[in-house]
Amino acid sequence: MLNDAAKQADFSYDFADDGAGLPARVAIFAEDEGQRRQIGADLGGAGFRSIDGGSLRALLEGPIALLGDVVVVDCAVVGSRGIDGMMLAGLARLDMRVARSGAKLIVATNLAGLDDVFAVLDQSNPQILVSPSRAERVIAVGRVMGEAGAARLREMGEEDRVALLRLSQQVEAIAHSLDRMGHASASAPSAFGEFRRDYHSEDSGVASGFGAARAVQTPLPDPQMVRQIIANRQSRAKFFDPALFGDPAWDMLLDLTAAHGEGAQVSVTSLCIAAGVPATTALRWLTQMVESGIFRRVPDPADRRRAFIALSDKAIAAMSAYFASLRSPVLQAA
């Protein structure tokens, strides 16, 4: 734990400068110095100023002085044991620091570290990247800077956030294509799915509407039937390009609906896999749906390093009403 003096020092810094009196736009933290240089060079080529924040240990030792408008952290896990507890403490500390400073946080990890990173970063609304390419890192920095600029002009509404999310997916598809052209990458771009939101805010402040679900109290279908629907959807990839059917919001809704009926807990990693799109794309949809009140974040009482995702009560009502409205022939093809 940090003592009171250290805590005070930790939150007494303004944005660092780059030595020329200009604000340091992007602070980069990564264990490997070569990787920090590479990220800095990529950002410089895209017109961003950057500053080397040092190794990840810098997040644990002493005050976090190097903080720009955007903070980029790389903490990919080697193996499958997850992220070291001390490192998670450093990320939690940075999360608090970023949230209080108004900076934007981008954290890159891999599937092995995703659950740990998602659970510990709960204050700064970070952008989490999963095994990103060099192009995707640069795009992420541009995205969060664009969001920050939009926030300064006006508060983004629900339609603005969804439009930005869809635009981000289009840009990501271009980045994947460029990576394939330059490096013959095996990863394919994913088409982004439509996710219509025709709900509005209630007095509670939680996104609502969900069609007629507010007044309907019908049970969810048998989870085995939902799993069969999921299997049917996945079987399309045997006959068509999977990129034609990218619909992460609906695939995650179906997976959580089945898990609800089974009494099973769903991890962030598992839900991202169920979405059928690149994990970074799935994670952004997941975050949006949590913010919209469709999904809810459920901390693991036995392990604070984990968090699960579940349907909100209103989403359960909406899915119940949806299945109740279907006729049998339609249901088989859902």
**In the predicted model, what is the mean pLDDT of the chain?**
74
Own/partner contacts of 167-171, CB < 8 Å, gap of 24 or more, are: 168/139, 168/143, 168/284, 169/281, 171/139, 171/143
Residues 223 and 109 in one domain: no
Say how far apart CA 251 and CA 22 lie, in whole Å: 45
Angle between helices 279-291 and 158-183 (to 10 degrees): 170
The string of DSSP letters for 146-202 reads: HHHHHHHHS---HHHHHHHHHHHHHHHHHHHHHHHHHH--S----PPPP------B-
Task: Give residue 148's pLDDT.
Answer: 59
The residue from 93, 110, 134 where one domain ends is 134
Residues 124 and 218 in one domain: no
- Write out pLDDT tens, residues 112-133: 889 989 998 988 889 999 999 9
Residues 130 and 218 in one domain: no
Residues 127 and 19 in one domain: yes
Residues in the chain: 334
Residue 16 falls within a domain, yes or no? Answer: yes
Residue 324 falls within a domain, yes or no? Answer: yes
Number of domains observed in the structure of the chain: 2
Bridge pairing between strands 295-299 and 127-130: unpaired
183 close to 148: Cβ distance less than 8 angstroms: no
Residues 130 and 225 in one domain: no
Instruction: Say which residue, 66 or 54, is predicted with more confidence.
Output: 54
Q: Taking the complete model, does pTM exceed 0.75, yes or no?
A: no
Residue 320 falls within a domain, yes or no? Answer: yes
Residue 176 falls within a domain, yes or no? Answer: no
Residues 218 and 120 in one domain: no
290 close to 249: Cβ distance less than 8 angstroms: no
Q: CB-based contacts of 145: which residues, under 8 Å, 6+ apart?
A: 25, 48, 69, 70, 104
- Write out pLDDT tens, residues 38-48: 999 999 888 88
The residue from 104, 134, 164 where one domain ends is 134
The residue from 83, 118, 134 where one domain ends is 134
> Helix, strand or coil for residue 97?
helix
- Write out pLDDT tens, residues 298-329: 988 887 778 899 999 999 999 999 998 886 55
Token look-up 């901390």 returns 299
> Which structure tokens are listed for 45?
């080529």
Q: Which domain holds residue 9?
A: 4-134
